[in-house]
Structure 1
Amino acid sequence: MFSNDLYASMDHSLMPEGSLGREACDYLLDTVQRSILFWDVIRQRGTNYIAHINDDQPPVLVFDYDTILDAREFDRPTNYSLVKIKNRRLSQAAGDKQGDADDLQETESPYKRPLVIIDPRAGHGPGIGGSKELSEIGMALNQGHPVYFVMFFTYPMPGQTLADVKNAEIRFLEEVRRRHPKAAKPVVIGNCQGGWASAILSADRPDLVGPLVLNGAPLSYWSGVDGKNPMRYKGGLLGGVWLNSLMSDMSNGMFDGANLVWNMEMLNPANTYWKKEYNLYAKVDTEKDRYLNFERWWGGFFWMTKEEIHRIVDGLFIGNQLVRGTFEMADGSRIDLKNIEGPVVVFASEGDNITPPQQALNWIPQVYDSVDEIRRQKQVVVYIVHPKIGHLGIFVASSIAQKETKEIIGSVEMLEYLSPGLYELIIDEEPNKNGNNDYKVRFEPREMEDILALDDGFDDEEPFGHVQALSELMDRYYNAYLSPFVQSLSSEYTREIFRLLHPLRVQRYGFSDLNPGMVGVKTLAPYVVENRKEAPSTNMFRKMESAVAESVENMWNLYRDLRDMGQEIMFQGIYHNPVVHHLFPDPGTTPEREAEKAKAKAQQAISQKADRAALVAKLESGDYGEALIRMLLAVIGADGSIDEKEMKHAETIIRERRRLQKMKPSELKAIVVEQSRILQTDFDGAIKALPKMMSRKVDRKRAFALAESVSTADGELHENEARVLDQIKAALAL
């Protein structure tokens, strides 16, 4: 039936090439074969799912690793561990030498900054940040960084809390610092949920974290654009956090991560119910491996304790407490994002429907009153917004890894030498000498208005405070009256029943080798592959199929749009109601909270005046080293853009100065930050004060020549750079 020989032996004289009958026969054979191959891939997905579970769902990393710390053995155990990724190039070098692990360690630079990746624990398992060679881990290894990975196991430890997880990760970072005493503080990359976990970690222990990279990470949970970001309304329409408590109680105190995955899948029903599977069916000859590799991660469902999911939903998604500065953990620590000391890079995308740019970026204007406050905090915040990549693509797509991820990791050393402030990272394609595309990186200074322009204002966030109040009330009632009853009916058996009956699991094991009905597909598939005859894309019926598939997808999208519109109208109808406002006042606008905000604002005004006075007093302080750094910074920022080539050239100049060479990196960075702040406070005064810092004419000439060389490091001298050079030259009387 499926043999090419049989097909070739048929008399096609009545159906010449291109005739309707011939195309119909070609399509019929093709679609029958594709159907068998499609269902065989679905069978393999289910069988792989079972094998993955039986193997305790290991991370989907393609890199080898060694376990460094296992938090399951801590005094307050958690289901986390710290592993070190093996660099295959170093392993090969060690093998060539026939050496041992000590030989390998010697080939790794002790001065290279380590990098720690924290993957999301939001229903799925760990490893997506290193599931292919072209990934975050791959890019970091290519640039010589020692790479560590924070992984976790399927089930949490009994009594595990969010604070326990944070404290375990603190111990991980302490161990990384201990293993790399000569290197700078590690870069921490947080993907999605791992992003806000990394931000909490950085705010609680800023002494352990260097540059912080947040990829598709939500920090401002109420933000979004009306008519575009419907996921934020779910909590209000479901009555708040009590439903998570109910689901945890039904599973004997554990929350099934498959429920979180289900929520994500329902965001785009066209993809869930049609597009993903149709894409496999239409391209079954080439899509099999990619589909199965992704499904291995997507179908690995991990659990949380009731306390963990309750604190996450109540404190973050419904309470929005991170940006409000009121997020407290079980160990008593209160998280203030202003405590983050290292540079922060935020990577968002317009195509992300799970963490839209507003949720990734609005924490910046909500935590800091202005860019001037960022500068006073001596903080560097950088953001980059991709025009179309989806949520998972931010930390999975190979195209992103080879461009944005590569350049972000390649720029981490430069971040700490940027003048404090807010920047947008711009990556331009630049053909190199070999005709291949390379990338030119620059940092464009930005104002808060640039971030606010991505949103439609904060007025639409006002109802969410009333959602929080209602959620707290509903949760109290549930815990007082219903929770004890539900818990009395729950056990390990009920949890197992709910686990097995979850739709996302049924659709996997239901079409695995456990199902006798799949035997026929498994038997026929190899024969079909051997005798495959694909209808060409020009086939009339293939074109009709594509058109029908597109129509089905459009119908699902129409359903999604109508559903989202209805939910938004319902949400606004409920929570814009003055009666609801009166019954459930926003806990964040209480008189005590408003008094606390007013006090903080008054203290900030005093601090602002004191900061300016202190910087003005230092206008003439310092010697040749400080003056040189001030001049270089003035020239680099003159054209309104911080160019990577100019920064690297300036860094080379600074490190060649004898006095500056003796400084610790932290001392040098402190001088750079101080001189940056002096220039930001009184640029003209800072330039006029240069002669007081360099009395010898030979020093002035040498410093000016170095400043000139930096101005042309990017291949051109901009008008503003020339103007600043003239201003410096006049001040130095050269």
Structure 2
Amino acid sequence: MLPAYTNLATSALALFDPLGVGRATLDYWRDSIERSVLYLDVMRVRGNQYLEHMEQTKPNVLGFETEVLKDGRDLPRPVNYELLRILPPDGVEIDPDMRPFVVVDPRAGHGPGIGGFKPDSELGVALRAGHPCYFIGFLPFPVPGQTVEDVADAEIDFLREVIARHPDTVEKPMVVGNCQAGWQIMMAAALEPDCFGPILIAGAPLSYWAGERGKAPMRYTGGMVGGSWMTAFAGDLGAGHFDGAWLVQNFEKLNPANTLWTKQYRLFANIDSEAERYLQFERWWGGHVVLGAEEIQYIVENLFIGNRLSTARINTRDGRRIDLRNICSPIVVFCSRGDDITPPPQALGWVRDLYADVDDIQANEQTIVYCVHDSTGHLGIFVSGSVSRKEHAEFTANMDYIDVLPPGLYETTVTETAQRGAEAAHIDGDYLLEFTPRDLSDLDEIVKPSEEDDRRFATVERVSDINLGLYQMLVQPWMQAIMTPSAARWIRRLHPIRLAYKLFSDRNPLMVPVPVVADWIKADRHTAAEDNPWRVLEGIASHQVEHSLNAYRDVRDRLTERVFLDVYGQPWLQTMAGLGAGGEPLQRRPGIEPEHRRFVEKRKAELRARIDKGSYHEALMRALIYVLAGAPSTDERNFQRLRATRAELEPEIDLAAFKALVREQFFILKLDRQAALEALPVLLEGESNSRIDEHLAHMEHVLDASGPLSEHSRERLAVVKAAFDRARPPAPQGEAPVESVDPIKPAAAETPADTKTKSTSQPKPKGTRTRRSAKRGPSSGS
């Protein structure tokens, strides 16, 4: 606001000049009238664009040419989804042997195509990297009777089709789900984990009760309206259909200043330059779709109010439990502190809902990586050009690395090469992806868990069930009897959001002269100067309106939160809802069941039996994992170097075998570190001195990729070198034997200088980026 007041003070000097005042007033008056007409003309184009879009059979804002491969309406349980192959733009080459890349479009009230309506989107990044790309989109109206479970099964079927189209590619498809599509593919992956490679969920809510007080007003909505009976009423009002415009309206209410004023004033103030960007955004934002009443009821009851997905309390109609712990693929969670629709606690809270600690995550052999952006909004997470060129480009380029990370919880950060100083020499590209092991206590700093709040939301769930039952018994039969499809269509057409588009279109006779006058103005446009005092006053007035609406929002949100906490925090209400006296846990954490405990014990016994089984493959990987576990973080450089050197030395091992090797050696080290280290010489039996030197050179080559090792990592490297030295064949008579160092306590007897390799007959091969191909060997990712 300060620049506006400064400009006002500067331009106020003109008020002392009568001629200046008159000239400034005339210029502003003419400019404001012209801007008003041009603004109306943009609104007219927006309305026409909306009507044209809604009249299409398959409206879509996808920014790429596509080919339909499979129509979900032809499946045994038909759905309104379809599998599309993205045709590469001119100048872009696709390698069919690279990992397929699948983006699932979010279906949350807006029109289809948002997952790829910009060249700088997740699809654009993957195409430029050479990946075969596919898109799972949807049609504006659901197939009668389709359910959320049907959609999940359809997505599984589509992924099987993608896998079948790439029989020579070992890697499973990387799947990206934004917003609503994120929790949808997590459900599908929990049901059929073998169909999924790494999963990236961006701005996807999975834990709906989570949230920091004062920063997550949307989570209180269900409680403030008394539960899911309102959803059932809206579905009955639509004669079995739920208008997605209601969901969009909920999003818009989160920021009334932007919805009611800022977005429109920005267009009005910059009408000569802002129109194209505004229309492009409105083309998607205004393409409202329809959901089935059964679908939205399932979503609201099980997710928004029940929070059952993150606690493994959803069972399918055929008896399968949807348990996110079944997912075998690495999960990358991308969220932002600037996202008011899916704040970080709702994107990450499911981890602590399911797991007691990191050991629990590792016991389930899951790899979870999260990245928290500082400022971008909900849409910016998956459509912002700057985010796509940075975070999404790095995620895509390093999915093979993420795919072989040992089980656990990691936080990833993306930093610019220029900020790395001397380390930049080791970095290939403009950004570096770095992974730091985290604990659930680190996650709690983001999630802000509260047992008291969880009890309140559990009360909402019970109250919702009661209110829904009353509605279904007393009101729903009457609603379903009087509502007809024709009446439902008219109600949808008269929705305030939809009506706003139509009133400014060419279908309104009052808009007929607007394009004529607009063309006349464009031919002879008169703009007021930026320092015009009236233009400056206009900007100040706009700031005041915006701040007033923001103040209203803050008061509204604080009042909503206060009422929610007070009402649902009443002990008598919680008791009447069946929660009993406070203090006892709301529910048993979905921990390891008895049968799973037996499986884990059996797996441990198998691993103990394999501690001294294997060859130099197992020895090298065990040693690398042990040394890198002593570093505070690791990054993509280690993997790039390992991939390049492994491709030269042993091209026969593919990514799947490499991943299995990494995980097995990780668990062996975790199970019994001392025995695992003492077994290294056994694994290296039969290796010559020169081969052992080569293995050590290879290991150091990988470790050097990310710069100097930490003191702790150097100590661990000394342990490994001592173990490798003990595996050397006995020296011939007349030669001094290689000295052996206690593998468990090397640091006390050695200095950092002693940790250098005693003999390196193999020169360090250079690490280079190579395309991953199951046919050519270097594709192994190892």
In the superposition, the TM-score normalised over structure 2's length comes to 0.86
2:495 alignment partner in structure 1: 502
How far apart are 1:111 and its partner, in Å? 2.0
Mapped partners of 1:81, 1:182: distance in 2: 24
**Is the 8 Å Cα contact of residues 162 and 330 (structure 1) preserved in structure 2?**
no
1:103 alignment partner in structure 2: none
How far apart are 1:328 and its partner, in Å? 2.2
2:110 is the alignment partner of 1:124: yes
2:303 alignment partner in structure 1: 316
How far apart are 1:603 and its partner, in Å? 6.3
Q: Which amino acid aligns with 2:546?
A: E
369-378 vs 195-204, which deviates more? 369-378
Equivalent of 1:401 in 366, 377, 388: 388
1:288 alignment partner in structure 2: 275
Q: Any residues of structure 2 matched to 1:429-448 within 5 Å, and which?
A: 429-431=416-418, 438-448=430-440
2:127 is the alignment partner of 1:141: yes
Equivalent of 2:238 in 246, 251, 254: 251
1:643 alignment partner in structure 2: 635
How far apart are 1:520 and its partner, in Å? 2.4
How far apart are 1:410 and its partner, in Å? 1.1
How far apart are 1:186 and its partner, in Å? 0.5
How far apart are 1:676 and its partner, in Å? 1.8
**Is the 8 Å Cα contact of residues 207 and 346 (structure 2) preserved in structure 1?**
yes
2:3 alignment partner in structure 1: none
Q: Any residues of structure 2 matched to 1:407-426 within 5 Å, and which?
A: 407-426=394-413
**Is the 8 Å Cα contact of residues 161 and 330 (structure 1) preserved in structure 2?**
no
Mapped partners of 2:265, 2:52: distance in 1: 25
Mapped partners of 2:709, 2:572: distance in 1: 63
511-520 vs 717-726, which deviates more? 717-726
How far apart are 1:593 and its partner, in Å? 9.0
Question: 1:215-244: CA deviations, max 9, x gaps?
Answer: 000000000011111111110111111111
3-state SS in 1 of match to 2:103: strand
3-state SS in 1 of match to 2:515: helix
23-32 vs 302-311, which deviates more? 23-32
C-alpha change, 1:350 and 1:591, in structure 2 (3 Å) is closer
How far apart are 1:331 and its partner, in Å? 4.2
Question: 1:674-709: CA deviations, max 9, x gaps?
Answer: 112223344454333321211333332211111111
1:98 alignment partner in structure 2: none
Mapped partners of 1:364, 1:14: distance in 2: 63
Question: 1:439-471: CA deviations, max 9, x gaps?
Answer: 011111111111110133222222111111111
Mapped partners of 1:534, 1:505: distance in 2: 33
**Is the 8 Å Cα contact of residues 571 and 581 (structure 2) preserved in structure 1?**
no
Mapped partners of 1:154, 1:17: distance in 2: 60
**Is the 8 Å Cα contact of residues 94 and 127 (structure 2) preserved in structure 1?**
no
Equivalent of 1:703 in 695, 710, 714: 695
1:3 alignment partner in structure 2: none
3-state SS in 1 of match to 2:372: strand
705-714 vs 131-140, which deviates more? 705-714
Question: 1:562-598: CA deviations, max 9, x gaps?
Answer: 111111111112111111111112599999995x759
2:149 is the alignment partner of 1:159: no
1:540 alignment partner in structure 2: 533
Mapped partners of 2:220, 2:572: distance in 1: 19
**Is the 8 Å Cα contact of residues 465 and 588 (structure 1) preserved in structure 2?**
no
Q: Which amino acid aligns with 2:271?
A: V
Equivalent of 1:675 in 659, 665, 673: 665
3-state SS in 2 of match to 1:385: strand
**Is the 8 Å Cα contact of residues 465 and 587 (structure 1) preserved in structure 2?**
no
How far apart are 1:662 and its partner, in Å? 3.1
2:178 is the alignment partner of 1:186: no
C-alpha change, 1:21 and 1:509, in structure 2 (3 Å) is same
C-alpha change, 1:598 and 1:313, in structure 2 (3 Å) is closer
How far apart are 1:253 and its partner, in Å? 0.9
3-state SS in 2 of match to 1:732: helix
Mapped partners of 2:527, 2:287: distance in 1: 33
1:104 alignment partner in structure 2: none
2:731 alignment partner in structure 1: none
Q: Which amino acid aligns with 2:714?
A: A
507-516 vs 537-546, which deviates more? 537-546
1:86 alignment partner in structure 2: 87
How far apart are 1:109 and its partner, in Å? 2.9
Mapped partners of 1:266, 1:30: distance in 2: 32
2:42 is the alignment partner of 1:41: yes
**Is the 8 Å Cα contact of residues 210 and 342 (structure 1) preserved in structure 2?**
yes
Mapped partners of 1:114, 1:589: distance in 2: 50
**Is the 8 Å Cα contact of residues 635 and 707 (structure 1) preserved in structure 2?**
no
Mapped partners of 2:266, 2:299: distance in 1: 35
2:332 is the alignment partner of 1:345: yes
570-579 vs 217-226, which deviates more? 570-579
C-alpha change, 1:74 and 1:606, in structure 2 (3 Å) is closer
How far apart are 1:108 and its partner, in Å? 4.2
3-state SS in 2 of match to 1:382: strand
**Is the 8 Å Cα contact of residues 118 and 194 (structure 1) preserved in structure 2?**
yes
3-state SS in 1 of match to 2:124: helix
C-alpha change, 1:46 and 1:57, in structure 2 (3 Å) is farther
C-alpha change, 1:588 and 1:54, in structure 2 (3 Å) is farther
Q: Which amino acid aligns with 2:294?
A: E
**Is the 8 Å Cα contact of residues 637 and 705 (structure 2) preserved in structure 1?**
yes
Q: Which amino acid aligns with 1:157?
A: V
2:575 alignment partner in structure 1: 582
Mapped partners of 1:589, 1:194: distance in 2: 36
Mapped partners of 2:669, 2:640: distance in 1: 20
2:683 is the alignment partner of 1:693: yes
**Is the 8 Å Cα contact of residues 16 and 22 (structure 1) preserved in structure 2?**
no
475-484 vs 219-228, which deviates more? 475-484
2:565 alignment partner in structure 1: 572
**Is the 8 Å Cα contact of residues 711 and 721 (structure 1) preserved in structure 2?**
no
3-state SS in 1 of match to 2:458: helix
Mapped partners of 1:327, 1:610: distance in 2: 28
1:623 alignment partner in structure 2: 615
Q: Which amino acid aligns with 1:120?
A: P
Mapped partners of 2:84, 2:657: distance in 1: 31
3-state SS in 2 of match to 1:495: helix
How far apart are 1:174 and its partner, in Å? 1.1
How far apart are 1:608 and its partner, in Å? 6.0
3-state SS in 1 of match to 2:476: helix
**Is the 8 Å Cα contact of residues 312 and 590 (structure 2) preserved in structure 1?**
no
**Is the 8 Å Cα contact of residues 160 and 308 (structure 1) preserved in structure 2?**
yes
**Is the 8 Å Cα contact of residues 65 and 85 (structure 1) preserved in structure 2?**
yes
In the superposition, the TM-score normalised over structure 1's length comes to 0.91
How far apart are 1:343 and its partner, in Å? 0.3
3-state SS in 1 of match to 2:329: coil
1:550 alignment partner in structure 2: 543
3-state SS in 1 of match to 2:206: coil
C-alpha change, 1:699 and 1:377, in structure 2 (3 Å) is farther
Q: Any residues of structure 2 matched to 1:457-496 within 5 Å, and which?
A: 457-459=449-451, 460-496=453-489
Q: Which amino acid aligns with 1:537?
A: E
C-alpha change, 1:579 and 1:592, in structure 2 (3 Å) is closer
Question: What is the Cα-based RMSD across aligned positions, in Å?
Answer: 2.6
Mapped partners of 2:153, 2:383: distance in 1: 28
Q: Which amino acid aligns with 1:641?
A: S
343-352 vs 690-699, which deviates more? 690-699
3-state SS in 1 of match to 2:512: helix
Mapped partners of 2:15, 2:404: distance in 1: 77
C-alpha change, 1:170 and 1:603, in structure 2 (3 Å) is closer
3-state SS in 2 of match to 1:561: helix
In the alignment of these two chains, the number of paired residues is: 703
45-54 vs 457-466, which deviates more? 457-466
**Is the 8 Å Cα contact of residues 228 and 468 (structure 2) preserved in structure 1?**
yes
Q: Any residues of structure 2 matched to 1:521-540 within 5 Å, and which?
A: 521-540=514-533
Unaligned runs of 5+ residues in structure 1 are 1-12, 94-106
How far apart are 1:716 and its partner, in Å? 3.6
Q: Which amino acid aligns with 2:162?
A: V
Mapped partners of 1:598, 1:336: distance in 2: 9
